[in-house]
Amino acid sequence: MPRISIGKNIDVSMRDGTRLKCDIYRLDGAGSQPVLLQRLPYGKDNWKTANLLLDPIRAAQAGYTVVIQDTRGKFNSEGNFYCFTAEKQDGYDTVEWCARQSWSNGMIGMYGASYIGATQWLAAGTRPPHLKAIAPTFTASDYHDGWVYQGGAFQLGFCLYWVLSLAFETLMRSVNLGLICEGELTKLLETAERIEELYAHRPLADIPILGSPSPYYAEWLEHPHYDEYWRQIAPKESFKGIDIPVFNIGGWYDLFLGGTLSSYTGLPSEIRMKKRLLIGPWAHGTMGGTYHERDFGPLSSMENIKVDIGSELLRFFNHWLKNEKNGLEKEPPVKLFVMGRNQWLLATDWPLPGTNHVKYFLHSQGQANTLEGDGFIDNICPATELQDTYLYDPVNPVPTVGGQTFLPGVLIDSNAGPRDQKAIETRRDVLCYTSEPLRQQLTVIGPVCGILFASSSARDTDFTMKLVDVFPDGRAFILTEGILRARYRCSQEQDEYLIPETIYKFEVDMLATANVFMEGHRIRVEVSSSNFPRFDANTNAGGKVAEQTTADYVVARNQVYHSEQYSSCVIIPVIKDKWEF
């Protein structure tokens, strides 16, 4: 077997003179060949991270030179790490450096997940001449709505946990350079150990330990609107100029699912034949479809007889970087795992052609609180019905149970994915609307949207919605969910407070799913006003939530209306045509 050589800590100089370190994997004696580049802030020597999607040794054996680089200010690289801001120019400079090397033929591809996906999008937006294909995985298209915020609510659970982990390495560097004492590192570790307590801490912006290593955290809280701060780093703002092949990979329970899907649909129609989409039953941080409470079977992992991510990536890059005629151009560009059936589906586009967007209307006689209430859904528009009322108290928010989240724990996937919602469905501040048992299976694949006609006694509040698959034995597994901060009901670019007790229309983006509701199952929609700590608990007071204390908390009396005039519903993408699994 040919020998693989690994060059360690090779300098790559950026335009400002900062030297970033990379490792280079290639076959001994190989001439110039295509390059696969991965830029990450988690340490190129962290084999688990560097090897997450594609083993660099496997890629080298397949005829690629693999370059794995520590981003600016991380691990072996010089400079200061500042989330997102340097990735455009550093990505451009690194791509073009790779193209100039003797071992490169000038055909550069990028791959990787999460923030490593961000380094791809930000580089691609600058259009480096030698960047020929990217494969962003489990990542966002907008670092405001979809990374730091969603529907105007701050993604507290993920952001605080992630930033604390980034801050640790930053402080460690400062300790090693003699810039700070080890006591600062100890303080950070102690802070991270009590993260559950920190989630409840107010004001949100008052976390002094993050000030030095992670000043961007405070900046995120200072910019709750979509403004120029976010616009200048948003990949979606550069989509129109991207003309290279893109392989978008995501998971139905990944917290960046919305970004994966919007990246596919947002790219120019001119590159329709160059873009691909693959979505599995995966969450952020887990590589399979086996969760704490539900198992999607042997075909659900990232390495199975139907889908092997490493092989999928190599086939994609072989086609576009080596001009290999491997049949990729003849295959449907969309591959989806359909839960319930636990099978893979090939499709010609996303959303699927022929999708029927069916309205399921909310009904009750004013007592939809808890799963024991009188709430139900069907396809008949309501006539005259009493509205449902609940109290949302930010002191006692609805706890996060599963879904598209990334929270700390012994195992990340024990907190994410298809968790049973029964425990929270006993709360009076959770409205439950449930269908009759289905007489035949119902295939639901595509974007899900909630329409609420609602009012509040407060100037601001949140509305959350979940789509749930209820099994015959009563287990209620979350499929997808959404949230909308009321002040952002018209635009993410500016807030507009509520007039108390006035009925407004709220459109809640519930992202998407692919699920077959089997015969005998029921469809359930949950409505509430909190999902904590995935999202920060709205104080209901208006003003700057990040600066408010518990003294600012206001209990909101929220009402959901369902009548002929105010027909609250969830719009579900029903697939009636027969598709080949």
Residue 99, classed as helix, strand or coil, is helix
284 as an active site residue: the answer is yes
Closest C-alpha among 244, 242, 284, 241 to residue 260: 284
User: Who's near 171: CB < 8 A, 6+ residues apart?
Assistant: 180, 184, 185, 188, 212, 213
Residue 404, classed as helix, strand or coil, is coil
Range list of H helices, 101-137: 115-124
The one-letter code for the residue type at 300 is: S
Q: Supply the DSSP string of 272-333, one letter for each residue.
A: GGGEEEEEEEEETT--SSB-SS-B--GGGSSBSSS-BHHHHHHHHHHHHHS---SSGGGS-S
Whole-angstrom distance, CA of residue 345 vs CA of residue 358: 21
Beta bridge partners of 507: 451
Whole-angstrom distance, CA of residue 170 vs CA of residue 68: 20
What are the CA-CA distances from residue 180 to residues 32, 72, 137, 167, 209 (Å)?
45, 20, 36, 14, 13
388 as an active site residue: the answer is no
Whole-angstrom distance, CA of residue 212 vs CA of residue 180: 11
- Supply 528's token pair: 């509430």
Whole-angstrom distance, CA of residue 311 vs CA of residue 288: 16
User: Who's near 206: CB < 8 A, 6+ residues apart?
Assistant: none
**Catalytic residue (choose from 104, 114, 301, 568):** 114
- Please give the sequence-ordered ranges of beta strands (E in DSSP) within 101-255, or none if there are none: 104-113, 131-137, 149-150, 153-154, 246-253
Whole-angstrom distance, CA of residue 422 vs CA of residue 414: 16
User: Who's near 455: CB < 8 A, 6+ residues apart?
Assistant: 498, 500, 501, 502, 503, 504, 558, 559, 561
Q: Supply the DSSP string of 238-254, one letter for each residue.
A: GGGG--S-EEEEEEEE-
**Catalytic residue (choose from 90, 254, 420, 509):** 254
Residue 474 carries which DSSP code? S
**Catalytic residue (choose from 144, 284, 363, 521):** 284
User: Who's near 522: CB < 8 A, 6+ residues apart?
Assistant: 434, 435, 436, 437, 438, 470
Residue 514, classed as helix, strand or coil, is strand
370: number of Cβ within 10 Å: 17
225 as an active site residue: the answer is no
Positive or negative: CA dihedral 297, 303, 305, 309: positive
Contact 530, 345 (CB under 8 A): no
Closest C-alpha among 268, 265, 245 to residue 257: 265
User: Who's near 214: CB < 8 A, 6+ residues apart?
Assistant: 83, 163, 166, 167, 170
Residue 255 carries which DSSP code? T
Any idea which residues carry the catalytic annotation? 114, 254, 284
